[in-house]
Amino acid sequence: MKTKTLIVLSLFCAGFMACKKTETSANTNQQKMIGKWTFQQVIANDFYSGASHVTTYPGDPGDYFDFRADGKVYFRAWGSYDTSTYTMINETQVRMDPGADTSDIILLTNSAMQLYQKQVYAPGDYSESTLYLQK
């Protein structure tokens, strides 16, 4: 009887510890964001005069965004290198550069990220863009 109890208790403890590991291994969006991402493209839409004016700006080979744990982002886009800062506002918004607009995190997985911004200039006139990154 003691042996059965010990086996059942061991299985229960092993199952409990396995569940605990799964819960703590979940990454926050800030943790998922850290790393080097390949810059795929930006799709921009300028909406005015009642119509969308969509333009796609593909990244050049070798373009990237490298988000670091210290709040800095290093990037190369269209042949130019730059460094900026980024701040997670919450799990669904990030701001790059203190004076910049806030971007909504549309998608963030271990292999894909999409950041969206929209600026309204007047009723019916706005500009929006989506940045596409991949690991």
Residue 15 placed within a domain: no
pTM, two decimal places: 0.77
How far apart are alpha carbons 88 and 95 in whole angstroms?
6
7 in a domain, yes or no?
no
Domain residues for 34? Answer: 28-134
What pLDDT, on the 0 to 100 scale, is given for residue 25?
Answer: 42
CB 39 within 8 A of CB 77: yes
In a domain, 6, yes or no: no
Buried b (16+ CB within 10 A) or exposed e, 117-131: beeeeeeeeeebbbb
| pLDDT tens-digit series, residues 68-121 | 999 999 999 999 999 999 999 999 999 988 778 899 999 999 999 999 999 999
Give the CATH number, domain containing residue 79: 2.40.128
pLDDT at 91: 93
The pLDDT assigned to 22 comes to: 39
Helix (H, G, I), strand (E, B) or coil at 132: strand
Helices first, then strands: H and E counts in the chain = 2, 9
Structural domain total, the chain:
1
**124 domain-assigned:** yes
Residue 90 falls inside a structural domain: yes
Query: Is position 112 within any domain?
Result: yes
pLDDT for 52: 97
